[in-house]
Amino acid sequence: MSASIPEIWQRYFPGVAVAAAVALVATFLSQRYGAPAMLLGLLLGMAFHFLNDAPRVGPGLEFAAVQCLRLGVALLGLRLTFSEVAALGWEPVLLVAAAVIATLFMGVLFARLLGCGSQLGTLTGGAVAICGASAAMAISSVLPQGPDSKRQTLFTVIGVTSLSTVAMVLYPVIGDVLQFDEQAMGIFVGATIHDVAQVVGAGYSVSPTTGDLGTFIKLLRVAMLVPVVLVIGFIYRRARHNGSEAAPGIPLFLVGFVVLFALNSTGVLPQPVVQPVAELAPQLLLLAIAALGIRTSMREVMTIGVKPVVLIVAETLFIAGLVAGYLLLRH
């Protein structure tokens, strides 16, 4: 027998409300001090980890961490159109695709060399290669869930947001030292910095031209989230199927991303509706991050060790070196 609306409200509202409160505070602090909202939401959530043990809060936190995440990823499709991707031309498209694929492969290779396991390499490599915290959450949702899954996801989110903030400050300086022009600088920051907000900050600190191009390049990386997550999910599903474990189907939120991207590209959706709905995507992802933070203790994250830190730094340096090397050779 299905639950009634009052029962659903009573079961999930307290936990969702707690996560929403943390997300709102993180948004305020981010706007006030310029720090990444995702990182603030995660850290604030972890500070309230004791709430995870409250029976009334737990179900809502799980709902926010899983379902709100999936809805947020699906709505990312409304923030991108095919014409925006096509306007970049083939050269940057191929560069971004090559950088994303190479970083993923190197992430798995580095992880195996360091003894961290290919699953952590896939998670961190995908987050570094595509779009930071959002990619980490999406990739985590299709990886096999084990005792270390939450800890690895939290570590990856903290790592990519922290490194992205450092890159926002350093990469424009590095590009200036390498004598990149505005176009090259836009490609550099857009193809290497992990999170969208930090790409915007780095690009527009150089010039409007650099900021516009950097944002477009970054959106192209975001567009690769769906095919990459589908491939990762297929690989791990096949491995689980060969191990006689039931293989899950294709995640519906990825199908939703593709459908919304296609509809948004055709122009049939009214923009007065699309814009506010598209703005819900980062808010839902922040809500999911806050809920995940509340569900995980800092002590668990700190036990992950030094090797994963070396791994995510190596992946960050790899994609930056790859893109910078290409730009230097091109000129």
Please tell me whether residue 81 adopts helix, strand or coil conformation. coil
CA dist., res. 99 & res. 190, Å (int): 12
Q: Residue 291 pLDDT > 80, yes or no?
A: yes
Task: Output the six-digit token pair for 263.
Answer: 């509809």
Instruction: Let me know: does 23 contact 31? Beta carbons within 8 Å.
Output: no
Domain map (residue ranges) of the chain: 5-330
Helix H or strand E encompassing 204: helix 196-206
**23 to 134, 139, 215, 277, 288: CA distances (angstroms):** 15, 22, 24, 18, 9
At 245 the pLDDT is 46
Q: Are 330 and 92 in contact (CB under 8 A)?
A: no
Closest CA to 330 of 178, 212, 148, 214: 178
CA distance 74 to 321: 31
Q: pLDDT, tens digit, for every residue of 31-77? A: 888 777 877 887 888 888 888 878 888 888 888 887 887 788 788 77
Per-residue confidence band for 240, with pLDDT thresholds at 50, 70 and 90: low
Q: Taking 80 as the threshold, does the pLDDT of residue 238 lie above it?
A: no
The arithmetic mean of pLDDT across residues 83-90, rounded, is 70
Instruction: Give the C-alpha separation, 172 to 119, whole Å.
Output: 32
120-132 in b/e form (b: 16+ CB < 10 A) is bbbbbbbbbbbbb
Kindly state the average pLDDT of the residues 94-117: 92
Give which of 9, 23, 103, 2 is closest to 292, Cα–Cα: 23
Q: For the chain, what is the mean pLDDT?
A: 82
295 contacts 62 by C-beta, under 8 angstroms: yes
> Cβ-count burial of 281 within 10 angstroms (0-12 exposed, 13-18 middle, 19+ buried)?
buried
At 247, is the pLDDT very low, low, confident or very high (cuts 50, 70, 90)? very low
Tell me what the mean pLDDT of segment 299-320 comes to: 85
Phi first, then psi: give them for residue 246, nearest 5 degrees: -60, 135
The pLDDT score that the predictor gives to residue 65 is: 80
Of 151, 104, 143, which Cα lies nearest the Cα of 127? 104
